[in-house]
Amino acid sequence: MGRERGVRRARGKGRRDLDFSNWVPRFLGLPPVAGGRIGRIAAKSRVMLRPHRFPTLLGLTLAAVAIAAQPAPAQSPVSPAAIAAYQAKLAHYERARSAYEEMASAYWDAVSTKRRLRNEKRRQRVPITAEDYVLTQPPVYTGPPRPVDPLAPTAPPSEQPPIPVLADFLKAASEQFGFVPDLPQSDQDFKRAYARAALAAGLTQDQVVGVYAFETGGNGAYNTQAGVTPKRVTAISPALGYNQLLSTNTVSLLAEYGNRYLAALRMKAVPLRGEAKHVMDRKAEALTRMIAYARSVPSRWSEQDKLAKTTLGGWGIHAAVLDIDLGPLLQVQKLANSIHFARVKGYTTPLTATELELMNLTGDGNGFDMVTMPQSLRERVPTANFFQPQGYERNPVARRTGVVANLFADVEAKMAKNTQASGAKELASAF
């Protein structure tokens, strides 16, 4: 769950009332009367829901099978004593692991149950109390590690799909959709476009710079990917950009708001002439194909997540985050949706940068739960209440801080420090 639920849509009409026809013309630098025209263009920019077929990562799957099927290298004989020792250690491990998994299963079942009950109480406008949360920390496995089987061949390759990097996104976008993002001449150019989009959507400088500072450390570029550094070429996540948009977020946003982004490109193409107009028209045509692919699966997070992570088309869609016309709109839409979610729920106080980041980090529903929690509960409620088991295990901040109050303090401290970095100051100056 966690961050990957960040674009779950509130059912009903409220979520679609963002005044796109007003803030997109402001982002593009057009006069207010363009709002009516962009609405008409968006209405004509409908995209068919299902393409006939698109390639998947079948080749990767076959390659993994082929690797796994290779014969194991010859091994030296293993003594009966070594086998007996292994079996004893394995039995010890299995007992310890089984006891832990039983406790962990009960814990996370309770977290899930109480979350559903809280959601129901909110719908009925019933006050939330401490009893509506699991107030103990999740169990931690402290038993022995799984022993190595002396008779087993070398460890098989991971069954997890590879995490693509920038080159993979760009290659897939070109091959699957004919989409080549318009990259900025400098990161400062992208920051200016991002700031224009943010202001047009009603976001504040403090909110935008704070989220950027926390997510990128204060010096992230428009093409920053989680885990990738000058010394490390492998990624820990497909998250890209100033607010670290996941590939699943990009698929979900194109599926829901694709017609609006298409209309924005066509509006920008109107005053262009010659080759510049031809390039923009080609980009709009490619985006049309990307939107169709994003809508080729049901509008459920699990389905969009599968498409984003296990198909070449899903990889290609994520390259839109790098485009100077589309990337700012996509990232701003994600943050604007969180603010709109809070307003629809009746929370009219402007979100602080920390509150907005918690919604960006854990998803709108979980983040809003923490935002509206009184301080007395924040000091008691474990952060585990707002994650799924795997998401919690992958989030060192959630584990280290323990309770909601500490999580707030940690995010605020990191923002205060990182907003002093040069990248954060550059973004602030773009406003």
CATH number for the domain spanning 399: value is 1.10.530.10
Per-residue pLDDT, averaged over 319-326, amounts to: 98
Q: Do both 135 and 171 map to the same domain?
A: no
Among the candidates 131, 160, 189, a domain finishes at: 160
* Residue 128 domain boundaries: 82-160
Within-domain flag for 72: no
Say which amino acid occupies 292: A
Mean of pLDDT over the chain = 86
| Element at 347 (helix H, strand E) | none
Confidence of residue 29 (pLDDT cuts 50, 70, 90): low
Mean pLDDT value of segment 297-318: 95
Q: Evaluate whether 320 touches 290 at the Cβ level (below 8 Å).
A: yes
Number of domains forming the structure of the chain = 2
- Separation CA 305–CA 131 (nearest Å): 33
pLDDT tens digit sequence for 366-395: 999 999 999 999 999 999 999 989 889 888
- Averaged pLDDT, 113-134: 94
* Portion of the chain with pLDDT greater than 90, in percent: 72
Q: What is the mean pLDDT of residues 23-33?
A: 60
Mean of pLDDT values over 170-196: 97
pLDDT value at 40 more than 80: no
Are 119 and 175 contained in the same domain? no
The DSSP code sequence of 196-246 is HHHHHTT--HHHHHHHHHHHHTT---TT-BTT-BTTB---S---BTTTTB-
Q: Is residue 69 part of a domain?
A: no
